[in-house]
A and B are shown apart, each in its own frame.
Chain A
């Protein structure tokens, strides 16, 4: 690999970025225009727009079968899905959540009248540390109602340990699996791990559907409540719920979800190739370590997360992000704008999560990224390491 890019060629010094357009690299997927047109002409002919229409029902059935669960309940977005999950379980009190949980998770608890109790994460896997959660439960807090675990960045938590904890302390266990669509554990896609698993159909995630979401459960009673909270349409058997919401998924969202599901194997295979390309491209660079998905047989490989060891790499994570951005590579902090960790009070209590937030970054990976793009990004990073001192000075 060419690691001899001259220092003056870096965008941060030349003012001329190496990539002509920004390499965004999220999972944003859109169907081919002719498929989109055909799907919407069908909807306009059918004139069924929302209220659990035929496409929403078909999508639910396909997702249910995909995950091998008893119920998949489609909803308008994942935040509202998380709120509905807490409401359906009738939770009161506090909920253990990992320190790296998204703002969606935290806001869902607020709406459901619940308080978060943060657990630190495992520094190797970034998933909730079951031992830490056990300590919280053992401290004798009587008002802990549930563990809301997050399957972060293409990995899966230590589900068995969490399930044992939930069983032992008689608390509910539910999952934010927004990052975990199509992760395979014990030979099958996840989906039925806890009481409820919330997946995303957000257009920026591995499986899209115009910002929608769906909830998987094997519990008939919870599914009934979720459907009744969502709205009266498609509610099945009426069940008394304390209050309803509006969480319907429209036919437009369902149409996009179905198309994405059709294309998913191809997209996942492309992700896997890109992931492997990054893996080999970064392997020989000291001071940068790629986070391999854990707890799975195979991952969706949709998230490329790296740790920067400043002493080995020669520059900080923040410097590298600035250098890459100046070359139009959309390297990102770990959704820093979206995590609980940005609030200063959390950081002191949760040192491992805080460390992860400080020294990790996310690199572009998605349908708009080619293997050549990955090679260029890896070359750029390798050269950045060689010129680390001068570039760090420039970026400051």
Chain B
């Protein structure tokens, strides 16, 4: 029940929060417990001898099949999966990795771990991802690797990026964490570039507690990644530098497998939630929902809105009020990576579009915890904020 009639009913001004527990932008899908326990039997009965397929391998096979690739390698988490992929793909003797600045907040740190210098590129205002033109401007004699990152809704122009990589003879790694279920021009995400990386953190499409994976059609790369993931040991026992333990444990694999079984049902739930938001937000033209491209296969997972100049509150104030109500909305990749201080070298030219875009969007709650009633409450709250914007702003300034 919406409980605000006066701005003092807002939690930020001392009222009762709209939600007793937080509504976040994390997916947090709960798979079927019995499916999970059934997969776990293989762990508890200590099955998986040398000739048996382990749960992790089973998961890798299912994910390769989902993405229509020949290979999948699972990792303890997406962070170290990306780091190893960068290490394996970077051209020897070269130092720079071209990546968008409007992206995951730890992306530059990942490059720093593998001693690559992030060279930040501009993005496309339409897709919010890098495109061939913005990436090509950053290619130089030191370029070791191109990193494309799919935006939070829909995909970047990954086919033209792959063409560019081919034309310039450079490897292309794709971070597809937010596009795990999507297609681009009808082709399943997972097989673009040299490899694509995904996360199975609980907040992502597939909840593996923690975890990540990489898909590729390159058997040599897959083999190398497995070796690097398993401490980098060669057959004679000598280690390849930068091997690491980034194996996925079996319990996380059991969880991810359970999530995969639930995936078609999840997509239906996501679609329903997205359509509910879309229909209700029609009445809030100053907050425009980023729509999924329904000509493609979509996950319908993330709810992102653009705050138009007519929206009467600043984004900072908007988020402050929402957080008070336990609506844990998030700014979209803000600040951009080049705007943050780094303890390692980075390269950035003029990224004014990125800087502008980093101010314009926010993610609204989504995922397993958000039902129709929640969506209605969140939209009512946004209406209330719009209608009482001036007194809210004034009151916030007085605090």
Q: Using a CB–CB distance below 8 Å, which chain A residues touch chain B?
A: 28, 30, 33, 36-37, 40-41, 44, 47, 49-51, 76-80, 83, 103-104, 106-107, 110-111, 113, 203, 210-211, 242-246, 248, 250-253, 256, 336-339, 342-343
Closest to B199 in A: A246
B384 lies within 8 A of chain A by Cβ:
no
B-side contacts of A336, CB under 8 Å: 237
Contact stretch, chosen from B146-154, B247-255, B298-306, B347-355: B247-255
A-side contacts of B216, CB under 8 Å: none
Does the CB pair A107–B232 fall under 8 Å? yes
Are A246 and B249 CB-contacts (below 8 A) given A44-B30, A107-B232, A107-B242?
no
Does the CB pair A111–B28 fall under 8 Å? no
Q: Contact check: which of B37, B41, B115, B233 meets A40 at CB < 8 Å?
A: B37
B46 lies within 8 A of chain A by Cβ:
yes
Q: Contact check: which of A79, A210, A245, A343 meets B113 at CB < 8 Å?
A: A245
Does the CB pair B239–A106 fall under 8 Å? yes
CA of A46 to CA of B343 in the docked complex: distance in angstroms?
A: 38
Does the CB pair B202–A50 fall under 8 Å? yes
Does the CB pair B242–A110 fall under 8 Å? yes
Closest to B245 in A: A79
Rounded to whole Å, the gap between the CB of B318 and the closest CB of chain A is 22
Does the CB pair A47–B28 fall under 8 Å? yes
B36 lies within 8 A of chain A by Cβ:
yes
Are A76 and B233 CB-contacts (below 8 A) given A111-B242, A243-B109?
no
Does the CB pair A252–B251 fall under 8 Å? yes
Rounded to whole Å, the gap between the CB of B376 and the closest CB of chain A is 22
Does the CB pair B37–A37 fall under 8 Å? yes
Does the CB pair A103–B210 fall under 8 Å? no
Closest to A33 in B: B44
CA of A18 to CA of B76 in the docked complex: distance in angstroms?
A: 38
B20 lies within 8 A of chain A by Cβ:
no
In the complex, 29 of the A-B residue pairs with CB atoms within 8 angstroms, ordered by the A residue number, are A28-B46, A36-B40, A40-B33, A40-B37, A44-B36, A47-B369, A49-B28, A49-B209, A77-B245, A79-B231, A103-B233, A107-B232, A107-B239, A107-B242, A107-B245, A111-B113, A203-B249, A210-B252, A242-B343, A243-B113, A244-B109, A246-B78, A246-B106, A250-B202, A252-B251, A253-B209, A253-B251, A337-B237, A343-B238
Rounded to whole Å, the gap between the CB of B203 and the closest CB of chain A is 8
CA of A30 to CA of B77 in the docked complex: distance in angstroms?
A: 23
A-side contacts of B344, CB under 8 Å: 242-243
B215 lies within 8 A of chain A by Cβ:
no
B-side contacts of A47, CB under 8 Å: 28, 30, 368-369
Which applies to chain B's interface (DSSP): helix, strand, loop or mixed? loop
Closest to A113 in B: B115
CA of A110 to CA of B36 in the docked complex: distance in angstroms?
A: 37
Q: Contact check: which of B77, B115, B209 meets A251 at CB < 8 Å?
A: B209
CA of A263 to CA of B76 in the docked complex: distance in angstroms?
A: 26
By size class, the interface of chain B is 35 or more
Q: Which 5 A-B pairs have the closest CB atoms?
A: A342-B237, A246-B79, A49-B202, A242-B343, A79-B245
CA of A15 to CA of B38 in the docked complex: distance in angstroms?
A: 37
B186 lies within 8 A of chain A by Cβ:
no
B243 lies within 8 A of chain A by Cβ:
yes
Are A80 and B244 CB-contacts (below 8 A) given A107-B232, A242-B344?
yes
Does the CB pair A211–B33 fall under 8 Å? no
B80 lies within 8 A of chain A by Cβ:
yes
Q: Contact check: which of A40, A106, A113 meets B36 at CB < 8 Å?
A: A40
B220 lies within 8 A of chain A by Cβ:
no
Q: Contact check: which of B43, B76, B78, B343 meets A77 at CB < 8 Å?
A: B76
Does the CB pair A76–B77 fall under 8 Å? yes
A36, A106, A252, A343 — most chain B CB neighbours (10 Å): A252
A-side contacts of B246, CB under 8 Å: 77, 80
B236 lies within 8 A of chain A by Cβ:
yes
A-side contacts of B343, CB under 8 Å: 242-243
B-side contacts of A49, CB under 8 Å: 28, 202, 207, 209
Does the CB pair B247–A211 fall under 8 Å? yes
| 13 new A-B contacts at CB < 8 Å, known A44-B30, A49-B207 | A40-B36, A49-B209, A50-B201, A80-B246, A107-B243, A203-B249, A211-B245, A242-B112, A245-B109, A253-B251, A339-B237, A342-B237, A343-B238
B residues 247-286 touching A (CB-CB < 8 Å): 247, 249-252, 255
B-side contacts of A36, CB under 8 Å: 40, 44
Residues 126-146 of B, flagged 1 when their CB comes within 8 A of A and 0 if not, give 000000000000000000000
Rounded to whole Å, the gap between the CB of B305 and the closest CB of chain A is 24
Does the CB pair A250–B210 fall under 8 Å? yes
CA of A103 to CA of B244 in the docked complex: distance in angstroms?
A: 9
Does the CB pair A107–B244 fall under 8 Å? yes
Q: Contact check: which of A104, A246, A250 meets B252 at CB < 8 Å?
A: A250
